[in-house]
């Protein structure tokens, strides 16, 4: 396979939104958890594609977008825009709920987001850049993830970023965390995410993995 890591282009927006939804449920399609792909993609990708596209990268395999890494270096701006995005999707969600477009599981997911999501999200470091990445299942063993991550590291070094973090799903064995630890990350916080209890017989956690790039970062 021919793998090409390149900066995000506006033409990639639909592919990123699709991959977000195809991998949004622990690496699998999000539909069993939440049936509204438009709202899901808005919340998890819209800031990065529409407000900070210069910090996004895509992995192309044989000319097909196979995955992406989105990131935010302008963390103060992100906090403002994220609130605006949430407020913009609330009327859409209310109308679709009232129209009967959401099944019982989707309603449970929305209730979890409104009532428990913020409490169960692990703590994030202050004044820090952050990133997200996703790959379609058939491309996860092609080295795309590592190459995306290296492109991101080059980007933050050029921009003199002092602190970065990512939030990942983990289970009891914590094997996923060891990959980040090899790159100098350590766990800042870890919390159980209860929205998956009806799907898994074991506990699911989200961990904040962070790295200091400048020891004087405060």
Lowest-confidence range among 14-23, 98-107, 113-122, 200-209? 200-209
For residue 217, is pLDDT > 50? no
pLDDT of 81 reads 96
Q: How far is it, in rounded angstroms, from Cα 110 to Cα 125?
A: 26
Domain boundaries, the chain: 3-165
E strand or H helix at 155: helix 144-158
Q: Tell whether the model's pLDDT for residue 212 goes beyond 50.
A: yes
Contact 134, 20 (CB under 8 A): yes
Mean pLDDT of the chain, nearest integer: 92
Q: Are 164 and 128 in contact (CB under 8 A)?
A: yes
Label residue 141 by pLDDT band (50, 70, 90): confident
Q: Rounded to whole angstroms, how far apart are CA atoms 190 and 123?
A: 8
Whole-number percent of the chain with pLDDT over 70: 96
Within 10 angstroms of residue 209's Cβ, the number of other Cβ atoms is 24
Question: Among residues 33, 20, 181, 194, which one has the least CA distance to residue 103?
Answer: 33
**Dihedral (C-alpha) 76, 80, 83, 88: value to the nearest 10 degrees?**
-140
Q: What pLDDT band is residue 21 in, cutting at 50, 70 and 90?
A: very high
CA dist., res. 151 & res. 91, Å (int): 37
The pLDDT of residue 11 is 97
pLDDT interval class at 175 (50, 70, 90): low
At 164 the three-state DSSP class reads strand
Q: How far apart are CA 16 and CA 69, in angstroms?
A: 9
Arithmetic mean of pLDDT, 97-119: 96
End-to-end CA distance of the chain: 43
Beta bridge partners, 121, equal none
Identify the burial level of 126 via C-beta atoms within 10 angstroms of its C-beta, where 0-12 means exposed, 13-18 middle and 19 or more buried: exposed
Distances (CA, A) of 39 to 32, 124, 145, 194: 15, 24, 26, 21
Superfamily, domain 3-165: Gcn5-related N-acetyltransferase (GNAT) (3.40.630.30)
Over range 137-142, report the average pLDDT: 87
Reported as a pLDDT band with limits 50, 70 and 90, residue 218 is very low
* pTM exceeds 0.95 for this model: no
State mean pLDDT over 21-46. Answer: 96
Banded model confidence at residue 142, pLDDT cuts 50, 70, 90: confident
Query: Within a 10 A sphere around the Cβ of 118, how many other Cβ atoms?
Result: 8
Is the pLDDT at 13 greater than 50, yes or no?
Answer: yes
Q: Which residues pair with 182 in a beta bridge?
A: none
Query: Does 111 score more than 90 pLDDT?
Result: yes
Question: Would the pLDDT of 216 be above 60?
Answer: no
């Amino acid at each position: 396979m021919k793998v090409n890591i390149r900066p995000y282009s506006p033409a990639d927006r639909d592919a990123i939104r699709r991959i977000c939804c195809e991998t949004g449920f622990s690496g699998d399609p999000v539909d069993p958890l939440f049936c509204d792909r438009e709202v899901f993609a808005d919340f998890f990708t819209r800031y990065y594609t529409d407000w900070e596209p210069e910090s996004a990268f895509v992995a192309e395999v044989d000319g097909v977008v196979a995955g992406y890494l989105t990131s935010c270096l302008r963390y103060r701006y992100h906090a403002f825009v994220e609130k605006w995005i949430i407020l913009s999707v609330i009327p859409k969600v209310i109308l679709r709920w009232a129209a009967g477009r959401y099944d019982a599981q989707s309603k449970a997911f929305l209730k979890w987001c409104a009532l428990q999501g913020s409490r169960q999200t692990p703590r994030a470091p202050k004044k820090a850049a952050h990133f997200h990445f996703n790959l379609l299942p058939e491309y996860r063993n092609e080295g795309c993830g590592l190459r995306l991550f290296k492109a991101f590291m080059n980007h933050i070094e050029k921009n003199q970023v002092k602190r970065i973090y990512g939030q990942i799903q983990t289970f009891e064995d914590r094997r996923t965390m060891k990959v980040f630890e090899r790159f100098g990350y350590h766990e800042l916080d870890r919390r159980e995410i209860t929205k998956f209890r009806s799907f898994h017989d074991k506990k699911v956690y989200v961990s904040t993995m962070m790295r200091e790039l400048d020891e004087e970062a405060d």
